[in-house]
Structure 1
Amino acid sequence: MTERHVLGISGGKDSAALAIYMRDRHPELDIDYFFTDTGEELPEVKEFLDKLEGYLGKPIVRLNPGRDFRFWLQQYNHFLPSPQVRWCTRMLKLKPFEEWVKPWLAAGDKVTSYVAIRADEEYREGYSSKSENLYVRLPFREAGINKAEVIDILESSGVGYPKYYEWRSRSGCTFCFFQQKIEWVRLRERHPDAYEAAKALEKDALEHGSPFTWSKGESLSDLEHPARIMEIKSEYEIRRARRRSNIPVNPLRPITHTIDDIDDIYGEDDGNGACLICHK
């Protein structure tokens, strides 16, 4: 029986910090790092993966689902995925991972998957193994590592954060339905082609009777009206100011516009909705 170790990287802060942590703390383990590429990732994610590979000193395996988002959209009657029906996570993230480890498990190998759920995320659960020889470990929870320590790991390594944290609070597809409305506005400003592609997918879905839009309660066509954009930005600034005023002052960590700030600005639990294979 061969022992194998795998660690999924989402392109976000926690999974990147875990990869760095495991590389530095457990050099005796030959870990296979992987990224499930849906074909709809932000360009900043790909840039960050290249940077992380340099630190890890080994390639991050790109898992390709074979059939892209548009194929599965047709299979699901052109209905967009949503927090209630997350077929994109199942078909474009979980299934490629399961297919990747399937030959090892069939051969009787012991496979340990390391998932980046922190100690301050008691409410989160990792991937539920469907095989008796696939084990899931949560090193951050086991070591008592919280968000502040994750940030320290990224900063001290020199890897830092993905650039999309300048305007967005999570990794994932360009049209992830967990985005806040201000993030859709920023996507339109920074990646207009990606926004237009998401709008076209939404239009097609609505024409086929999809009950969901990408952003809750309004279509991207409605969201992009100038008056609506101004309203969203105004609401965001009010929320941002309110949340910043509630951040405890720490003289050892000045407040800057980083993920430490963004999590509070956007007012969301940064673990909410994360794909379970690699978390954030």
Structure 2
Amino acid sequence: MSGNEMHVLGLSGGRDSAALAVYMRQHHPDIEIEYFFTDTGKELPEVYEYLGRLEGFLGQRIRKLNPDRDFDFWLKQYNEFLPSAQTRWCTRQLKLRPFEQWVRPLLEEGKIIYSYVAIRGDEEYREGYSSKDENLIIKLPFKEAGIDKAGVLDILEGAGLGLPHYYSWRTRSGCTFCFFQQKIEWVRLMERHPEAFEEAKAYEKNAVDHGSPFTWSQGESLDELSRPERVQQIKEDHEQRLARQKSKSQPNPLRSDSEPLDIDDLYGKAKVCLACHK
């Protein structure tokens, strides 16, 4: 931060935003950047571990923006209705609102804020945080430099960070009960973090009891999804998708098994929240 300008970079605990932080430190060391993470309190433990490692690389603390009201507070405000792809109140209230509360006084003082967002060169431009304030300027360094998914992986490997550990079973960061998860990700959450899965089930049951039209996973409750025969069906479907995708993929001798298949590669690109998943 210098003079009338401020540079900020939001971290989700995910791959792309971490790589952008590394990239900016390596290629633009002259820019003093404030790195921040908006903590919903419902993140995977692997996310916090990865952010700790990233702090070690950056050599500075990542600012934690905590929402002034937690998930339970907002759930009551929305009549116990779960957030969904159609009504993303969780992103709005737990991610964007704390960011707005942080930067608004600075913008009102006349400060120009540059916000760096990790949209890659191989992605269609998707608007992340939008603002009517002309002094909040969105920058897309990966887009400008043409850095794609492979480039992101190279950046993280070169920095000695690698991927967050949860990438072995889940593509995206964000809350443990994110509604953008595929069925297989719910199954893996149940197996790896059963306490988080049970918490999500409790939220869902309470919401349904209050008339919520949404369940966490489209078309079925977590109680239905967690039945042994359904779990087996989901795993078999996932293995079939995996086999089909691998048969179509060109082997990369430079990467071998170091480039895991994203869940979205198997199930189609989902509309995700940039504040949570980049």
TM range (shorter): over 0.9
Q: Work out whether residues 95 and 276 of structure 2, in 8 Å CA contact, stay in contact via their aligned partners in 1.
A: no
Query: Which residue in the other structure is 1:69 paired with?
Result: 71
SS of equivalent to 1:4: strand
Instruction: Kindly provide the amino acid, as one letter, of the partner of residue 274 in structure 1.
Output: V
CA separation in 2, counterparts of 1:221 and 1:104?
A: 46
The answer as to whether partners of 2:119 and 2:125 remain within 8 angstroms in 1 is: no
Give the count of matched residue pairs. Answer: 276
- Deviation for aligned residue 1:28: 0.5
Where in structure 2 are the equivalents of 1:105-254 lying within 5 Å?
Answer: 105-254=107-256
Question: Compared with structure 1, are the counterparts of its residues 128 and 265 closer, same or farther at alpha carbon in structure 2 (3 Å cutoff)?
Answer: closer
In 1, Cα distance between the equivalents of 2:180 and 2:250? 27
Letter in 2 for 1:12: G
Relative distance call for 1:72 and 1:264 in structure 2 (3 A) is closer
Q: Mean Cα displacement is larger for which, 64-73 or 120-129?
A: 120-129
Partner residue in 1 for 2:101: 99
Partner of 2:271: 273
How big is the alpha-carbon RMSD for the aligned residues of Structure 1 and Structure 2?
A: 1.4
Name 2:32's counterpart in structure 1. Answer: 30
Partner secondary structure for residue 255 of structure 1: coil
| 1:123 Cα offset (Å) | 4.1
Contact 2:6 2:114 in 1 (8 A): yes
| Cα pair 2:173 2:276 within 8 Å, conserved | no
Using the size of structure 1 for normalisation, the TM-score is 0.95
- Tell whether the 8 Å contact from 1:255 to 1:261 is kept in structure 2 after alignment: no
CA distance in 2, matches of 1:130, 1:276: 18
SS in 2 for 1:84: coil
Amino acid at match of 1:218: E
Letter in 2 for 1:6: V
Following the alignment from structure 2 to structure 1, what is the Cα–Cα distance between the partners of residues 125 and 104?
29
**2:88 corresponds to:** 86
Partners of 1:115 and 1:277 within 8 A in 2: no
Give structure 1 stretches of 5+ with no counterpart.
none
| Equivalent pair of 1:42/1:174 in contact (CA under 8 Å) | yes
- For residues 88 and 214 of structure 1, the distance between their equivalents in structure 2, rounded to whole angstroms, comes to 13
Deviation at 1:276?
3.1
* Deviations, residues 238-263 of structure 1 (Å, cap 9, x unaligned): 1111111111112222134x4x4234
Unaligned runs of 5+ in 2: none
The 1-side partners of 2:72 and 2:157 are apart by 37
Describe the superposition over 1:216-252 as per-residue Cα deviations: whole angstroms up to 9, x where unpaired: 0000011111111111111111111111111111222
Offset of residue 207 of structure 1: 0.3
1:43 aligned partner: 45
SS, match of residue 103 in structure 2: helix
Cα offsets for 1:53-80 (capped at 9, x unmatched): 0001101101000211111111011111
CA distance in 1, matches of 2:267, 2:201: 25
Task: Give me the whole-angstrom Cα distance separating, in 1, the residues matched to 2:113 and 2:120.
Answer: 21
TM-score normalised to the size of structure 2?
0.96
One-letter identity of the residue aligned with 1:275: C
